[in-house]
Chain A
Amino acid sequence: MGDIGQQEEGQLRGRSPLQQSSIEDRCIISIVVGTDSLAIETRGLTKRYPSGVLALNSLTMTVRKGEIFGFLGPNGAGKTTTIRLLLDLIRPTGGQALVFGLDCQRRSQEVRERVGYLPGELNLYQNTHGRRLLEMFGSLRQGQVPWDYVHGLCQRLKVDLETPVGHMSHGNRQKVGLTLALMARPDLLILDEPTTGLDPLVQRQVMEVLREASAQGATVFFSSHVLPEVEQICDRVGFIRQGRLIAVEEVTSLHRRRLQRLTISFATTIPADAFASLPGVRLLQGTDRMVQLEVTGDIDPVVKVAARYPIASLDTERPTLEEEFLAYYRGEGLEARP
């Protein structure tokens, strides 16, 4: 079954990224790959709160064992709701979630034995030292914690173990949280926006640790609303918006359709149609000495055309996730607005 599954999945990979990422195909992948190779599987997972808010709308998604899966969406899209459903912190109003083939609600304790979790809003016991926290959470794992590994991790991340959490900086608290998530060397790491508010140095450390965990066989599922961060590390990315999974992409296909905004000022006047013939380029604003362009995909042809004229300045800007997302699917038959 596994071989057949991989073969069929390979055939699916031969299709265009958008075709591959359609919801129907994802359902097929879910069936042909088989649950043995899946770390996470959701089937029509739905969460409606008593107030009537539909936070998650029939989410069907799979995450393969060993991959780093980015769960991407703007604030309020349903990322945290999905994670909390996987951890049985909240209960679905429809559908089912499985982790390693185990029902997240009925066998939640077994699921959580195999999961390390870093919440988006990390709240630790304020008066407790890092060391005490590790001991306490370690004691709940009943001998699963390899303490040599934990000590090594603490040294590497320079985790402050002697200061009460309430006196720690956000970065140090986040390091403690990451250590707590990793301490039992879980099969699945679920991280909710793990780098939010961290300085670039700590962000890099976090990413390194996640890559290592993945290299050692762990599956990493992390949510983010920052596309470049996801691109750095993930194998695949799922886009969620207003509670609906819109698409799942291989990261390589994201690179091919990356959206950038360029503002180029020239020392001399340039022809009005200088960039008009370039594929994937849209003129947002233009004067005789300045253009603002939105470029989808390869930026090289734009730079080459611009280089024909004396450039006074060149600024690039990364659009918001929402803008990038809309750009990916503009004209592809997907709804841009609900």
Chain B
Amino acid sequence: MIDPLLRKSLTDLRVQMVGWGLGVGGLLFLTVLLYPSISSAYGDVWEQFPKEWMAFFGAGSLNTLEGYLNMEFFSYAPLALSVFAILAGTAALMGEEGQGTLDLLLAQPVGRARLALMKLLGLALANGVIVAIILALFWAAMLFTDAEVAAGRILMAFALLWPFETAVAFISVLLSLALSGRLFAGSLVAIILTASYILDSLANLISGLEPLRPLYPTAYYQGSRALVGDISWGYTAGMLGAMGVALALSILLFQRRDIGVRAALPFPRLRKGKREAV
């Protein structure tokens, strides 16, 4: 039987799961449907684009569906889905604390570690559901095209979205607990990811930035390489490791923190100063 806390976490995220899944999946659906016409009309034109421009977006050959998807979907999808991961991650525990609902929940005979674990597990499952919806819409779109596809590469690119987004969500949980607030933590993760995306892309053009790649969080999403190259499993392992560390530290921090009394505030929290339990 499913843990009631996990069920609650998933229930809270159900609208967002479906919304993000259908929203991003819908875009992918249209992108795939447009592929045959774009490929036939502009395939050769793309080849004439500056190599630097193509390299920035990590694009391979646009004459293949994998190359096309890499540029038109997987170049931005991890970042777009990170918005959900950040919002849901910062809301998981600090959001409940901000709304004051954590008080009543923790007054029940529920261990803090169990609550935190179920919240994080809920986030991981929600990311999985979103990726599954997007993948389902991709295959639905494929029914309307006769393009050839390397199914293994496509599946791997989708599958790698899950640990990346889950790691982002867990790190958002961790930072929201460490910084005792959603706004600063969420902004920090967003800024780091955006800067990382730019630096990671520039590293394709500037050789000096290449050795620093392990420092760019977005480099740990290996979906693009799964589509048009070879996956670096070291990065994937690093991402899974970061996920595990963020999970363990989040639980530890949550167990040790004082739960604050807070009025219900929307995200972002605009009130100045740190509020305390009274």
Interface residue ranges, A against B (CB under 8 Å)? 49-51, 53, 55, 76, 80-81, 84, 87-91, 109-110, 112-113, 115, 117, 119, 121-125, 136-137, 139-142, 177, 180
Contacts and interface: CB of A to CB of B under 8 A. Distances in A.
A53 B276 contact: yes
Contacts of B47: none
B234 to A, nearest CB: 40
B263 A121 contact: yes
Q: Mostly helix, strand, loop or mixed at chain B's interface? A: loop
Given A55-B278, A81-B277, A112-B109, A117 B100 contact: no
Nearest to B259: A89
Contact of B107 (A49, A110, A112, A142): A112
Contacts of B5: 140
Interface of B: 4-5, 8, 99-101, 103-111, 256, 258-259, 261, 263-264, 274, 276-278
B238 to A, nearest CB: 34
Given A90-B277, A91-B258, A139-B4, A109 B109 contact: yes
B104 A115 contact: no
27 contacts: A49-B258, A55-B277, A76-B278, A80-B277, A80-B278, A84-B261, A87-B106, A90-B258, A90-B259, A91-B258, A109-B109, A112-B110, A117-B107, A122-B100, A122-B104, A123-B101, A123-B104, A123-B264, A124-B101, A124-B104, A136-B4, A140-B105, A140-B108, A140-B110, A141-B108, A141-B109, A177-B104
Contacts of B110: 109, 112, 140
A121 to B, nearest CB: 6
A121 B107 contact: no
B103 A89 contact: yes
Question: Considering residues A53, A81, A89, which has the most beta carbons from chain B within 10 angstroms of its beta carbon?
Answer: A89
Contacts of B103: 89, 119, 121, 123
Given A51-B276, A55-B278, A139-B4, A84 B108 contact: no
A185 to B, nearest CB: 14
A76 B104 CA distance: 21
Contacts of A76: 278
A157 B104 CA distance: 20
A180 B104 contact: yes
A121 B276 contact: no
A137 B4 CA distance: 9
A199 B187 CA distance: 43
A110 B251 CA distance: 20
Contact of A80 (B261, B263, B264): B261
Nearest to A80: B278
A81 B274 CA distance: 17
Contact of B99 (A51, A55, A88, A123): A123
A125 B104 CA distance: 10
